Structure 1
Amino acid sequence: MSVLQLSTASVDKLFLEYIKPGMDKMFVKNTVVYDRFKTNTENCLGKYGVQKLQTKGSKSARPSSTSTFPTALQGTFDEFIFFMKRGMYASLQFDGLALACGKGAGAVKDLVKTEVEGQLVFISNSLNRIFWGDGSGRLAQLDAASSNSTTVTIDHPYFGKDSSYYTTAHNYLEVDVPVDIYDTSGTLEASNVAISSLTDDADGTSTLVMASAVTASNNSWIFLHDTYAASEAAGTGVPMGLYGIVSASNQTVGITATSAFQNINRSTYDYVCAQVFNMDPAGGTTLTVPTNKKILECIQKLEKYGSVDVMLTNGAIWRALYVILEADKTMPNPSDKAYWGGTSGITFYGGRQRAIPIVCDDDAPDSRIFFLDSSKIKVIAPNKSGMEWLPGDSGHILNRVQGKDEYAANMRWYYNMTVSNPKAEGVLTYVKHNES
């Protein structure tokens, strides 16, 4: 039986009860940071999101030599205000002939499964990168100008920063994905151009071959097609990610540096800044081998404000930490694993309340170790369903494409990310990839 022979109610049931649960499981399986943070719907107020945070405690408590209570002091609060974003749009398309010819038990599910699985892997990879982003949407930066050429050379401020070049500058790019290129003034230089191939140049840069020739300036930025925004507004740009949250800098929208992080100036108010530590003993920019002592220092300072429940870093640093802990004989028994959201990591004994897993994620920005209290990081959304099927004009999920013998199903997710206590989040910078 083909999809065309099923009732519309049966098709909807197929997508809702067969595909959606499997989709959610695949997203969790193929990502590290997706679905690890609580979704909050109460703070979604129409197109806005609001997150209250305490700026000063009341501090009206003390011992007393008399029967007089201390004068009541009121705590002060502020608000992060941010816009809902079109965090993910996705489309699935099915050929009418293939659907009509699908016969036999399970044929419909097999056809749908084949089409869906490849798309879901790409969606999960994209979501993980967005969750790691800085909220700007920038994916890479041109390392040299390109003049009517299909060849583009790029680098990235977050990747390929170690002389060993374990991470590639094109870490957030994929073949066949259409992109836009904007110069440093925000002028569009190339639109909807697909990437044909990606090559790591092994020197901190990568070479892209584009599907058509482009002319673009040195230091121009690459974005996914139709994701650039010149200013904050509902439904424009991309959601905030961990790199932007675990920072002491104001956010960037597109290529525009703003004077605030979600409506509060981090340059003026320290309470909205995450804690940023430096592995370089001189406080400079020299990449330095991570040590147990420095990691413990970070944890202790962060746990004045919360509870570190995970450390996240890329594969090269994770491997270096493994060797360091093993050499220091602080590597735990392999059976004594620590977990974060179902993902296991190297167990580090240093938290006040628990052993902390060190988890590897190659989407994590380079030369850094992130320390998270994930209970303080929030996904603000209109509902808790995550990616959801979009009803078409007929009210059903699968709809015929006008003028074609094709059928399409669309998914969407509106959300943004914020943090309720920035001082509980931290990052150790200028970390060397090697153990010596």
Structure 2
Amino acid sequence: MEAGGGNDSQDNGAPVAVSKAPAENDPSQDIHGEIQALKKKLEDETRLRKYTEQVLDSRQHELEVAESKLEELRAQLSEAHDQVTQAKGRSKSKEKQLSEAKDQIFRLQPQRKDVNEADAIEAYRTLCANVHRWVENRMKGILDELDAGRLRARPAPPQAVRFVSMMRETAKRGLALDQSDVYHVVAIIMNYLCLVFFSKSFYCPLDEYEGDATLTFIDELEASMSRLPRDPAHCREWRSETLAAMTSQKSFKTRRVRFIVLVTEDLATLLSAIAPKVPTAELQSSIRRSIVEPAADLAHDLHVASSIYSLKWPARGAWSRLEVYECLDLANGGEALNLSGTAPSSSVRRNVAYLFDVSPGLFVERVVSGKKSPLKAICRPSVLVFSGGGGVQQSPTVMNWLWESAVSLPSPGREGPQRSATPAPLRKSTGSNQPSRRR
């Protein structure tokens, strides 16, 4: 017992190590774990921040570079704008200089008044009336001699050959038509004027060179311009202004006077066959005043006009299209016979016979809005017809007398007089039932 009691006291007097069971949740470990997690998170955040700062720095650098380029481009744009402004200023200055130069050029020539269609029609009708009146007045002498049977002395064959060579083919069928001499001579004069003035691209020589090299150059240059992508109005305006400038020069005016004198002398020589007793000076003066100068003035106005004017004779087969021509009725002293709107087979034209062409018509091609309009007749060609029915009376005529004079001289180069002095039969407007001839 005592031993057991001694042990108990010994046990109570000395400390005894007693082991404890581990705690299930140690706070220090939790804190340490949280600290480690926070450190890791902080490191991640730090790395992310550094990366973000690097990205921002890179973007900032790129932005600065872009802003620098933008400023440079703005400077270039401003410089270009200044250059454009300066160029516009220079362009306006050049345009002003060009305008002043153009005005100066065209101030050197008179202001060109472009002929309009009404003026052209009036001038052409006046010319035709002048020719007809001149022929009536100047043929009185030779017609009186023909009627009295005193027409004996024939003109020299070469003169007669040249005169009848100016006849159109249709007129050669009507040499012996009674009262037709005046119309034959009118047709010859109009044919002569067409050949000398109106059938050319410009009626009068522009230089002293053979072949009129200046006019050839202008024609070729206008043709070359028309082949470029350029509207016809500009080409025609250029031609008109060029011709107007050239014809305002003193040298051209002098050349024009000489040309008119030459034409007058030549036409007077031609027409002396039907006015043999008229003094040469008087004949030339009347021809120049009544025919040549009006024709030259009209040709000048037409050739420098913006629109394109031309004279055209009736086409072949005019007998079948009398409705489009001005018909002069030989049966009624040359009065106009209105056949507009009629057909060849109509009753109105049944007894109307076509004889021959008297004068060409005046045509125009307008140049409007950069385009050429279709060819239009503003003054119709005139033809001689006979509405008396039956046949046209045949009688001795001056034209037949001249034809016989021409036939007496062989002329291989002149086909008309070589044929026969007997005119071919006439043709009715219906194309059938040729009229018989009465003496």
Q: Could you state the TM-score of these two structures normalised by the residue count of structure 1? A: 0.24
The structure in which a higher percent of residues are helix is 2
TM-score of the pair, normalised by structure 2 = 0.24
- Structure of higher CA gyration radius: 2
